[in-house]
Structure 1
């Protein structure tokens, strides 16, 4: 087993929590590593927070490889997760394996894919061939057009049972990690206790084995953030203020300063 992953497994067994954040470029990965983050996720969320799209569906595998290369250079000891984008893995296990290989060559340690029990055969195919897989259930952003909105999952008894079944099947198929997004706290806690895979929560309460947040939400770079995200900084406003100050200094002749010859 990958040495970094074995530490995650050991921490799950001993009840120690791990923290991840998204990163899309070298500077963010470098800051994350210096701050002591345990992992960085090159998420297809870049389609929304970097490219300005309404969802993640336009992100390509080529883009994911490009951003993964940048992140890997700055990630240090962080475990690097990378998303398989929409359309790059759903057709067959073989397609998923080929796309995952591209991300591995770009520097990813763990490959994340969305979907429930229907993806178990794909997870098993990749895992048997040496790829570390992170499954993703609950709210799956790549299926937002199917759902109609970014809505919480597993809120009914039937929905909760479905999520528990999916998590169990994916873990048994060889997924080393399972992301639980926008599911009730009690459901996420139960799944985390029951499966071998390390659970990573986002909007899933405090009882998962690890937590992940989109960096732009954490840093206040988005105008609005999801209700579950904590804004630790209002960097967006600070950046805007700094840029406005620069404009003012240029307009008033205060920048650049005059130098004596």
Structure 2
């Protein structure tokens, strides 16, 4: 898959499947599946590092997770630009985005467009594909007063519509729409010439993204928009308990081991 395929999928009405990944082990598994593209999200701050938000994520973390995932897959990789990396000027943002592409990403994802239009334009003109992220942008959760659905009022919806239009104008090849009303996501998807990837934004987006550990039932985190396709937590705990039991009973290792 390439950046051009996102538009081709949209044009042909083919849905895009995206999933997060942070390590080579899972990347190797995903590489053998029908998943279209991988997101190395700053959600690694919580999933892999035990933090309570995405704010602590550092560019060094993102680059190392990107390198690990690239070592396990040939799929198209989008890597998150972490907190404030696009708010310290064009030079710093370019340096950070360059580190992610040098680590193996095919594109970067940036939360918000307003106030950093020139940064996004510069990255695109520098050969760095950019995916926008609108709606509930977790790096802004404190300004939002928490992790709440965005765009519920007419004024708020109009602002997100405007920002989505601007994302296309500055050259973004696609955009994530997170936790916005389904009808708003539908309007943006229909009005935009670039692909929309939804998370908690309804079925009419051009694609969907979920956190790997959430959809596998491993995290214990299950908001309304997450569907669990596996009871991973129970399966893993049961396997570990069985191993511990067999060790304690001298069943493992047996002759075959």
TM-score (norm 1): 0.95
CA shift digits 1:95-150 (9 cap, x unpaired): 21111000000000010111132222211111111110011110011112222311
Deviation at 1:224, TM superposition (A): 2.3
The equivalent position to 1:95 in structure 2, one of 85, 92, 96, is: 92
Secondary structure of the 1:35 match is: coil
Q: Structure 2 unaligned runs (5+)?
A: none
Deviations 1:29-48 (A, max 9, x none): 12112111110000010111
SS in 2 for 1:34: coil
Which residue in the other structure is 1:55 paired with? 53
Instruction: Write out per-residue CA displacement over residues 167-192 of structure 1, whole angstroms, 9 at most, x where no aligned residue.
Output: 00111011111110000111111111
Aligned Cα root-mean-square deviation (Å)? 1.3
**Displacement after TM superposition at 1:258 (Å):** 5.6
Structure 1 distance, partners of 2:198, 2:139, is: 17
Where do 1:121-132 residues align within 5 Å? Answer: 121-132=118-129
CA distance in 2 between partners of 1:30 and 1:9 (Å): 26
Contact 2:175 2:195 (8 Å CA) reproduced: yes
The answer on 1:68 being equivalent to 2:50 is no
Matches within 5 A, 1:104-253: 104-253=101-250
- 1:66-92 CA distance string (max 9 Å, x none): 01011112222x210000111222111
Aligned to 1:82: 79
Q: TM-score if structure 2 supplies the norm length?
A: 0.96
**Alignment map for 1:21-32 (pairs within 5 Å):** 21-32=19-30
Conserved 8 A contact 1:40-1:75 = no
The 8 Å contact of residues 139 and 182 in structure 1, kept in 2 or not, is answered as yes
> Is 1:15 aligned to 2:32, yes or no?
no
Q: Distance in 1 between matches of 2:173 and 2:38?
A: 16
1:45 counterpart residue number:
43
Structure 1 CA distance for aligned equivalents of residues 255 and 95 of structure 2: 58
Provide the C-alpha distance between the structure 1 equivalents of 2:211 and 2:57, rounded to a whole number of angstroms: 16
For residue 32 of structure 2, give the secondary structure of its aligned residue in structure 1.
Answer: helix
Mapped partners of 2:214, 2:138: distance in 1? 16
CA distance in 2, matches of 1:87, 1:32: 30
Q: Which runs of 4+ in 1 moved over 4 A?
A: none
> Which structure 1 segments of 5+ residues have no match?
none
Q: Which moved more, 1:8-17 or 1:164-173?
A: 8-17
| Alpha-carbon distance, 1:51 to partner | 1.2
**Bigger shift: 250-259 or 97-106?**
250-259
